[in-house]
Amino acid sequence: GCVVDGKLYPFGEIEKTENCFRCSCSPKELDCCSLLPTRFYYDKEACEVIVNTETCDYDVVQKKDSSKKCSGFSAV
């Protein structure tokens, strides 16, 4: 198998690791790509970004009240 972030996975396709990577594991190589968006835009003064490893996405919330989501967030 292959070790990703300290965890052993069997050979084959790994749909999602604990740190939000999709990997292809073979005896010759390990190839991984992130499931998280790489570029995103939001109001940095009013909002903050929290990584949600359950959904492999970002939660963009208000700095003053983290129970409220920010609007105008976009990701690529």
3-state secondary structure of 44: coil
- Which domains, from first to last, does the chain contain? 2-34 (no CATH), 40-75 (2.20.25.590)
Per-10-residue mean pLDDT of the chain, 76 residues long, equals: 92 93 95 86 88 86 91 70
Has this prediction a pTM greater than 0.75? no
pLDDT (0 to 100) of residue 39 = 75
Residue type, 68: K
> Taking Cα atoms as reference points, which of 21, 47, 18, 24 lies closest to residue 33?
21
Q: What is the Cα–Cα distance from 21 to 33, expressed in whole angstroms?
A: 6
pLDDT (0 to 100) of residue 72 = 73
